[in-house]
Structure 1
Amino acid sequence: MENECTDEAILRRALGYPYARPDTSFVFARGRPWLLTRAAVLAAEALFCAPDTSEHKAPEWSDMRVQPLPWEHNLRGEPQYADPVGLDEVLGHGWTQSMAEDDALADRIPVLAIGSNAAPEQLARKFSTGSEVVVVILVRLYDYDIVFAPMVSAYGSVPATISRAPGMYCDIAVTLLSRTQLVRMHATEHAYTFVRLNEPRADVLHSKMQAAYSVSRPLYVYVQSDGALAVLPTLTRSDSDVGRNNSPIGLAEICASGSSPAPFPRATQEEIQAALHALLYPDEAGTPSKPDRTRLSARIIERVKSGPAHRQEICALLAARHCVPWFLSTNSATREYDIVCVPGASE
């Protein structure tokens, strides 16, 4: 991975959120993604079904057949696989047997990856040992949308959170994490609360456009603890309804569709950064339609390099003045979600 301390790398990481990811389910192994075959996705469906409704046996690691991403063929001098291969051929003979004994696929925890956690480059940062294996399954989640959180991350991005959005659906991913990986993930999500969605409406996808099987088990997700970022007065978009007060802002980079008109306006990472810059530094922001990109870039780099104090001030401002409280139902009768503690994770 490149040196992420240079100014160029800081800007690329801050403005590139939520980062590129394959448009199909994959296994992250040896620091890179390997595409899951359609048969492997079909096998994985059983992980999302109630035990008494699944038509499939519980999947095993030996069912996870993969192949490299098309554009990675011939890279690094690694062998090409004309046909899909098992994980033993990728990770070493006997790997699936040892994992079956110590870390069964059926025991993994399904955690929605609503922002960057479905991107291979972010998984590489969080699981950098090279020995970690994460299965990433595409799903279509109904009645929710992915929106901006009222905070700035340590690496300069305005990250994502989840919000109720009846009538909408979004195509995101579920990461299947071991207990050890969940503890590691928890340590990187300190501004978030870990919750269980008890009755999510979701489908496993064979591809970005094809629903495969309905989810009938709870899913877990990290929800930003303060809520969602409300529409900033400095955000300029062509949407006719962008001026609605107290509305979250959807991530334009995340595919979402459904009700018309959409309940939330949408913005790209660069647009939300420009709006934040205009809010914090009105004298140097340029015009709303033509922000001063040089000064915007300088402020992003400054926030990343200056340490947490200044960033925490910005987060406190956004949480206090530009925040929409959780859009998840707190009705105890419906029990839409429960807050979950992760054993072994420091809070």
Structure 2
Amino acid sequence: MGDDEIARFDPYAAENSPRARPLEYPGARPSMSALITRTAVWQIRARDGDPLGSPSPSGLRLDDCRVALGAAYPGQSDPFPSLASVLEQEQVAGLGARVPVLAIGSNAAPAQLRHKFGSSSTPLVVPSVLAWVRGVRVGFCAFVSALGYVPATVFPQAGAETGTVVQLLDDDQLAEIDETESPAYRRVWLETPILLQTGERLAGAYAYVARGGYLAEETGAWVMGTPGERRPASVDQGRWFADQRSLLARLCLDAAFAEAMGADPDEVVERRAGAGVSERVLRAQGLVHEENALYDLPDRMGRPPVRYGSPAGRG
């Protein structure tokens, strides 16, 4: 794959949006750091234009990163301009004015962002950076959505280090996402170490945490993975789900769930019984951990945000 192809590569094509195909709901994160727009996904690269690999020990700041535009960007003579200059050319907010938000589940997918922004006049230009966050895991909400898939949430787990994505949103983008997540979620500030793929460390980021707890059993919480991702040693095989089909298949093993929601994953998606029904059934199964300390944090929707460029936003 050449540089131009990599620059335009969309790891989640539009037809794989969970809005269209719930059983293809994306996993915890895409495979590269990228600048997402309505029409393209451009790879974010290191200062010299080389692809980002493991986090750099030197801690490359996002301001110094480059974007692999290749020949796909009209009027651009430099195939690897700085991320800051691309944002300026797009006439959108610079990095320092943006807000760091953990993108979990489908929110990490370009197709889902495009769906959520839809016909909105808000420009969709979002730096999306692979990251590792300490002390939390990505799990599953305690309900099946009206579209027939189980959305993601985060919960605390001491010693955990979870691969995820940090998106840098401007104020208008943040307001748009807030609207799509409310009232099922709160947006809370997680003050915890976050390591970006660039090697830069953040002191925290916002995260959307679902009401009503998360899926779990006696041995622990169910954890969202991605196909091919190595399962953490602390997570039992039976609590690790890399895709929606395997998760729904596990839920369908319970007779009460199968009767109320569907006997197999395809029937669950086709029937779409709704969140209220699924909540009652899952609680009756004993598959819901009701308390989530992250949900008890203050809801920051509508309040002045912590920005990437502020001391509180950088580690």
> 1:250-303, CA deviations, whole angstroms, 9 ceiling, x for partnerless residues?
013285765x43378212321211122333455799xxxxx975xx41331120
> 1:290-325, CA deviations, whole angstroms, 9 ceiling, x for partnerless residues?
x975xx41331120xx7xxx4422134335653113
Are residues 1:65 and 2:40 paired?
A: no
Q: 1:65 to 1:218 in 2, by over 3 A?
A: same
CA RMSD in angstroms comes to: 4.1
Cα separation, 1, equivalents of 2:83 and 2:159: 39
Q: 1:34 to 1:326 in 2, by over 3 A?
A: farther
Instruction: Choose from 98, 103, 111 the match for 2:101.
Output: 111
**Is the Cα–Cα contact under 8 Å of residues 194 and 339 in structure 1 kept in the other structure?**
yes
> 1:77-131, CA deviations, whole angstroms, 9 ceiling, x for partnerless residues?
989999324679979xx735x43xxx33211111101211111111111123483
Cα separation, 1, equivalents of 2:172 and 2:19: 31
**Is the Cα–Cα contact under 8 Å of residues 168 and 262 in structure 1 kept in the other structure?**
no
Cα separation, 2, equivalents of 1:116 and 1:22: 10
Instruction: Choose from 3, 16, 26 the match for 1:18.
Output: 26
Instruction: Choose from 187, 198, 201 the match for 1:194.
Output: 187
What is the TM-score of this pair, normalised by structure 1?
Answer: 0.65
Cα separation, 1, equivalents of 2:132 and 2:253: 35
Q: 1:127 to 1:81 in 2, by over 3 A?
A: farther
* Bigger Cα Rg: 1
- 2:42 is matched with 34
> 1:166-202, CA deviations, whole angstroms, 9 ceiling, x for partnerless residues?
222111001111111111101111211111112x022
Q: How does 1:47-86 map to 2 (within 5 A)?
A: 59=63, 65-67=66-68, 83-85=79-81
> 1:193-233, CA deviations, whole angstroms, 9 ceiling, x for partnerless residues?
111112x0221114xxxxx1322x331100111111123xx
Instruction: Choose from 261, 272, 278 the match for 2:253.
Output: 278
Cα separation, 2, equivalents of 1:64 and 1:184: 26
Amino acid in the other structure paired with 2:102: L
Aligned length: 277
Cα separation, 1, equivalents of 2:180 and 2:222: 23
**Is the Cα–Cα contact under 8 Å of residues 31 and 128 in structure 1 kept in the other structure?**
no
C-alpha deviation, 1:26, in angstroms: 0.7
Instruction: Choose from 182, 190, 209 the match for 1:223.
Output: 209
**Is the Cα–Cα contact under 8 Å of residues 148 and 158 in structure 1 kept in the other structure?**
yes
Instruction: Choose from 108, 111, 118 the match for 1:128.
Output: 118
Instruction: Choose from 84, 89, 96 the match for 1:95.
Output: 89
Unaligned runs of 5+ in 1: 43-53, 207-211, 232-244, 286-290, 332-336
**Is the Cα–Cα contact under 8 Å of residues 37 and 65 in structure 1 kept in the other structure?**
yes
> 1:108-161, CA deviations, whole angstroms, 9 ceiling, x for partnerless residues?
111101211111111111123483111111111122111111111232211111
State the SS of the aligned residue for 1:83: coil
Unaligned runs of 5+ in 2: 1-12, 51-57, 305-315
Instruction: Choose from 244, 251, 271 the match for 1:302.
Output: 271
Instruction: Choose from 196, 200, 224 the match for 1:213.
Output: 200
- 1:150 is matched with 142
Are residues 1:266 and 2:249 paired?
A: no
Q: 1:108 to 1:156 in 2, by over 3 A?
A: same
Q: Give the fraction of aligned pairs with identical amino acids, expressed as a percent.
A: 26
What is the TM-score of this pair, normalised by structure 2?
Answer: 0.71
Cα separation, 1, equivalents of 2:127 and 2:134: 22
Amino acid in the other structure paired with 1:278: L
